Amino acid sequence: MKKFEVTITRTGSIIVEAETADEAFDKVLEMTTHDIDRSADGNLTGWEPSDVEEVGIMIINGRFTSVWADEGEITTDCKVNTETHEVFYIETVDPADYNMECEILEYEYVEFDDGKKLHRFPVYEKEEKVSDEDYWRD
């Protein structure tokens, strides 16, 4: 039996045991509000299953920064898989909101906190990564 983390209305998650991600999702749909509140330590105000992933993959919140020549930096939220080093769900913004044109990209990096210290790594396009240790994005 595998364990799956099922995201609840983007406000939290609970751990359920199931054979597949679909089964984990269905189990949460069948749970009562009381069951979910008890499983999530009572920290949820409302609930609706929205996402499911197998436990063991470390998906954490991060901050993605792109540095533009002669213009500055734009930093947005992202997700980071600390096992594969993929940086994804990078929030997109309108450069005009920052009074920038974003013509020449110098480099990109990701920052995240593991609870002990702040980590900062350069981010490469998937095709440009050199090793499995590189952080990358599509």
Q: Is the pTM value of this prediction over 0.85?
A: no
Instruction: Supply the DSSP string of 76-125, one letter for each residue.
Output: EEEEEETTT-BEE-PPP--GGGGT----SEEEEEEEEE-SS-EEEEEEEE
pLDDT band per the 50, 70, 90 thresholds, residue 10? very low
Average pLDDT score over residue span 10-16: 67
- Provide the residue ranges of all domains of the chain, joining segments of one domain with +: 2-54, 59-137
Q: Is the pLDDT of residue 115 over 90?
A: no
Residue 95: its pLDDT value, please? 94
pLDDT in tens, 72-99: 999 999 999 988 999 999 999 999 999 9
pLDDT in tens, 22-67: 888 888 888 876 777 677 655 555 556 666 666 555 889 999 999 9
Residue 27: its pLDDT value, please? 86
Percent of the chain with pLDDT over 70: 77
